[in-house]
């Protein structure tokens, strides 16, 4: 199953770090790519591409100017919108897992246009309390992949962490 994350409404001044974190979470927890909209920001793309180069992939990040056109172009994907206003994800996750359809997961930045709620097959909340979209994405991906993403191996990495009880060990493979 392919999983794409759509980050809506990126703002360079306000969201640079958080959008980068959305990309890092998506990559580490099993998504194939992140597409972000809003303001074009090559520094996000360069940062994530550097992580992929050093820590392995595959993973892709790209900018899309028109999110509506992107949704139409990807209408074959199962659209899941993570929002604190949605239904509890735990009530729908087993149905989503059973569907082998590729997924498009939307996380907002600025206020999400109401039409996104109508496009989505699922409007889901990790909690109905204010929280971070990064936390919601991490929890949702972990549940979607049923914890198996934690054992994911990345190809062509230059760096690798050797787990330690205490301390840090990083090996360079290239």
- Terminal CA-to-CA distance of the chain, rounded, Å? 30
pLDDT band at 110 (very low <50, low <70, confident <90, very high): confident
Cβ–Cβ under 8 Å, residues 23 and 34: yes
Render pLDDT for 130-174 as a digit per residue (tens, 0 to 9). 999 999 999 999 999 999 999 999 999 999 999 999 999 999 986
Render pLDDT for 31-68 as a digit per residue (tens, 0 to 9). 999 999 999 999 999 999 999 999 999 999 999 999 99
Global confidence as pTM: 0.96
Query: CA 53, 54, 60: angle at the middle one, nearest 5?
Result: 35
Query: CA 51, 97, 120: angle at the middle one, nearest 5?
Result: 80
Query: What is the domain partition of the chain in residue ranges?
Result: 3-172
Render pLDDT for 71-109 as a digit per residue (tens, 0 to 9). 999 999 999 999 999 999 999 999 999 999 999 999 998
3-172 has CATH 3.90.79.10 classification:
no
């Amino acid at each position: 199953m392919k999983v794409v994350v759509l980050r809506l409404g990126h703002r360079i001044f306000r969201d640079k770090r958080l959008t980068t974190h959305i990309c890092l979470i998506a990559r580490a927890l099993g998504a194939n790519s992140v597409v972000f909209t809003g303001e074009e920001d090559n520094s996000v793309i360069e940062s994530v591409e550097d992580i992929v180069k050093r820590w392995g992939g595959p993973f892709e990040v790209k900018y899309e100017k028109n999110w509506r056109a992107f949704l139409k172009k990807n209408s074959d994907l199962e659209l899941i919108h993570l929002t604190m206003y949605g239904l509890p994800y735990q009530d729908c996750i087993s149905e989503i897992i059973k569907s082998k359809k590729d997924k498009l997961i939307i996380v907002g930045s600025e206020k999400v246009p109401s039409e996104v709620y109508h496009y989505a097959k699922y409007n889901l909340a990790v909690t109905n309390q204010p929280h971070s979209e990064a936390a919601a994405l991490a929890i949702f991906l972990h549940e979607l992949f049923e914890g198996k993403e934690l054992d994911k191996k990345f190809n062509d990495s230059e760096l690798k962490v050797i787990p330690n009880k205490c301390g840090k060990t990083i090996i360079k493979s290239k």
